[in-house]
Amino acid sequence: MRILVAAFSHIFSEVIGPNGSFTDSRGLTRDTFSIKIELESEKFNFIVLGDWGGLPPPTYTSDLQLNGAKALMEYAKINPPEYVISIGDHFYYNGVETVRDRAWERTFENVYDSQEMMVPWYPTMGNHDWLKLPEGTEGGQKGNGWAQIEYSAHGSGRWTHPDLFFTTEYTTSAGVKVKTILVDTPTLTGEYRDGAPRPLHSDENCEDPYNLDCELRALHPLDVDVAEWAWEWLDQELAKSVDADFLFVTGHYMILDTGGIYDWELFRRMEPLMEQYKVSAFFQGHKHTQEHAVRSPKLVPAGAEESPGTVHFFTTGAGSLYDTESTIFQQLTGGLPGRSGCHPRFEENGNDNSRSVCNYYWATTKKDGDADSGFTSVNVDAERARVRFVTSEKINEDDEFTVGYEFDINPRNV
C-alpha cells in the first residue's frame, strides 16, 4: 500500500527521531517531529478516537469501551484506516506510570486488536493521562505522560508518539495532502481540576474572549516554557501549511462546542490563528459526546463585523465513558436536547447560542454496560474530507454500528 515502506517500518517499530528543531523568541530550542507518508491510493480513511481509557485496575477495560471497540473494528473492516488519531484520556483515571504498566496490554493492545487496527496510532494526551495520585501512593503516582511518549518504542509498535507536539502529513497518489498538527492541550493550559480556564472577573471586558488582558483562572500550563514555545511553534507550523489541501489541528480539550467556549485560553489564542491560516477542522475530545459546532457569527473581536466561523469543531470523546444527555445538558443549558439534535432552545435562533452554532449533537441515552460509545471516521479524496460520527448503537438487529452524522469539508482554498 505504501510507497515509503522504509519510512513506515521506521515509524512502526522505533521511536522516531527528530527531523528539525525550532527556537522560539525567548531562545528555547526543542526538536521537532514531522511524519510524512506518501500513499499509492487516491483516497484514504483515518479514525479519530477519544477518551477510550477503560477503567482502572483490576478491570482495566469496561463494557462501554469494548462496545465501542467492537463497532470500530467492524467499521474498519469495511473502511480500513491508514492511521488512528487518539485524542487523549487513554488510561482512566490516572494514566500510566511506566511503559511496563499492565494497562498498555489490558486497555490498549488487547482491546483494539484486529488487523485493521495495526496501523500507526498518533496520540495526543488528555488530562487523565497527566493526572497524578497523591504522593506516597503505593505503586506510584502515575499520570506520567512521558511514559506514553516512551511507549513508542514498545508493545506492538503502532503507538507513534514522538513528542507533545508533532505533525503528520499524508499525501495521496493524486497529490492530495492532509496535514494534522497534534497539540498536547494539558501542557498548554493545565491539568485543571476546578474547571476549564475562564474569566477570573465578571466585569464587562471579560465578556470578550478575545481580550487577552482579561485574566483567567484555572490556568496552570504543565510547563510554562514549553507552552510558550508551543504557541510560537504552532503559529509557524500553520503558516507553512499553505500546500495542505486539508489542514487539521487536534487536541484533547474542547475549544468550542455546542455549549459555547469551553477552554477560554485555547479559544482566544488558537481560534483566531486557525481562522487566519484556514484550518479545516479541530478534532477535540474530553466531553463524552459527538458534536459539530462552529463559531457564532456574533462572536467576533470588539468592533469587528459579524462573520460566521470558518473552522469546524468536531467533538469525539465517546470512546469509553458517557455523558448522558441529562448530565451534560443540564450543566450547560438547564434543559434536555433532542435525541440526535441540538438544544431546542437554540433552534429558534438557528441553533446559535451567541458563542457557537450547533450543527449536531449526540450523547448516549443508555447507562452503564448498555450505553453506547462512538468514534469519528474521516474519508479523504480530492473532492472532500467526509467526516462521519459513528456509534455502537444498533438501530436494526443486524447492525454492527450506526453512522449518525456525515459532513463534507471542502479542500482549502489558500
Q: Which is nearer to Fe ion, 22 or 93 (CB)?
A: 93
Q: Which is nearer to Fe ion, 318 or 378 (CB)?
A: 318
Letter for the amino acid at 243? D
Q: Which 125-144 positions form the footprint of Fe ion (CB under 5 A)?
A: 126-127
User: Residue 42: how many CB atoms within 10 A of its CB?
Assistant: 13
- Report in angstroms how near the CB of residue 323 gets to Fe ion at its nearest: 11
- Report in angstroms how near the CB of residue 257 gets to Fe ion at its nearest: 13
DSSP β-bridge partners for residue 361: 291
- Report in angstroms how near the CB of residue 190 gets to Fe ion at its nearest: 12
Distance, CA of 377 to CA of 85 (rounded, Å): 10
- Report in angstroms how near the CB of residue 289 gets to Fe ion at its nearest: 12
Return the half-sphere exposure (C-beta side, CA atoms, 13 A cut-off) of residue 230.
Answer: 26
The answer to whether residue 288 forms part of the interface with Fe ion (CB under 5 A) is no
Helix (H, G, I), strand (E, B) or coil at 319: coil
Residue 182 is inside which H or E element, if any? strand 177-182
- Report in angstroms how near the CB of residue 285 gets to Fe ion at its nearest: 6
Helix (H, G, I), strand (E, B) or coil at 263: coil
- Report in angstroms how near the CB of residue 129 gets to Fe ion at its nearest: 9
Q: Given the rule CB under 5 A, which of 8-16, 130-138, 204-212, 283-291 is the region that contacts Fe ion?
A: 283-291
Letter for the amino acid at 286? H
Q: Cα-Cα-Cα-Cα dihedral of 25, 31, 35, 36, to 10°?
A: 70
Candidates 56, 130, 64; CA nearest to 373 is 64
Q: Which is nearer to Fe ion, 126 or 260 (CB)?
A: 126
Q: CB-based contacts of 398: which residues, under 8 Å, 6+ apart?
A: none
Interface characters, 63-92, with Fe ion (x: CB under 5 A): --------------------------x---
Q: Which is nearer to Fe ion, 83 or 92 (CB)?
A: 92
- Report in angstroms how near the CB of residue 363 gets to Fe ion at its nearest: 15
- How many residues of this chain bind Fe ion (CB under 5 A)? 4
Q: Which is nearer to Fe ion, 89 or 291 (CB)?
A: 89
C-alpha dihedral sign at 72, 74, 77, 79: negative
Determine the angle formed by the axes of helices 224-239 and 264-276, rounding to 10 degrees.
20
- Report in angstroms how near the CB of residue 46 gets to Fe ion at its nearest: 21
Query: 190: left (phi > 0), else alpha (psi -120 to 50), else beta?
Result: left
Q: CB-based contacts of 263: which residues, under 8 Å, 6+ apart?
A: 185, 189, 196, 197, 253, 254, 255
Q: Given the rule CB under 5 A, which of 1-9, 12-20, 281-289, 298-306 is the region that contacts Fe ion?
A: 281-289
Q: Which is nearer to Fe ion, 32 or 86 (CB)?
A: 86
- Report in angstroms how near the CB of residue 350 gets to Fe ion at its nearest: 30
CA distances from 41 to 74, 81, 115 (A): 22, 12, 19
What distance lies between CA 90 and its chain's CA centroid? 12
Query: Do residues 318 and 365 make contact, with C-beta atoms less than 8 angstroms apart?
Result: no
Q: Which is nearer to Fe ion, 127 or 160 (CB)?
A: 127
Q: Which is nearer to Fe ion, 95 or 404 (CB)?
A: 95
Residue of this chain nearest to Fe ion (CB atom) = 286
- Report in angstroms how near the CB of residue 253 gets to Fe ion at its nearest: 7
Q: Given the rule CB under 5 A, which of 120-128, 136-144, 291-299, 398-406 is the region that contacts Fe ion?
A: 120-128
The answer to whether residue 101 forms part of the interface with Fe ion (CB under 5 A) is no
Q: Given the rule CB under 5 A, which of 2-10, 72-80, 119-127, 186-194 is the region that contacts Fe ion?
A: 119-127
Q: Which is nearer to Fe ion, 51 or 393 (CB)?
A: 51
The answer to whether residue 286 forms part of the interface with Fe ion (CB under 5 A) is yes
Distance, CA of 68 to CA of 64 (rounded, Å): 6
**Residues making contact with Fe ion (CB under 5 A):** 89, 126-127, 286
